[in-house]
Amino acid sequence: MADAAGSSVTEVAEAFGVAPSQLYAWRKQMAGGELDADRAMAIFARIDVSDRQV
């Protein structure tokens, strides 16, 4: 997503509530083989939280 044409790291970071520097760190770790992309996708998931009472 952050690598997609027309997207910016800052926009993606804001959308997911993380600091842009964290995205750069993860990208560096994946490029260096420190992070397994398939495993990272299984660990990190987006959730939406609302204060709506059911």
* pTM (2 d.p.): 0.54
Per-residue pLDDT reduced to its tens digit, 45-54: 666 777 776 6
pLDDT score, position 5: 63
DSSP class of residue 42 equals H
Structural domain contains residue 29: yes
pLDDT score, position 31: 81
Per-residue pLDDT reduced to its tens digit, 14-52: 888 889 998 888 888 878 887 776 666 656 666 677 777
Structural domain contains residue 1: no
pLDDT score, position 8: 85
Structural domain contains residue 22: yes
pLDDT score, position 48: 72
CB atoms within 10 A of CB 9: 17
Structural domain contains residue 51: no
Burial code of 11-38, b = ≥16 C-beta within 10 A, e = fewer? ebbeeeeeeeeebeebeeeeeeeebeee
Phi-psi region of 49 (alpha: psi -120 to 50; beta: other; left: phi over 0): beta
Domain that holds residue 30: 9-43
Structural domain contains residue 37: yes
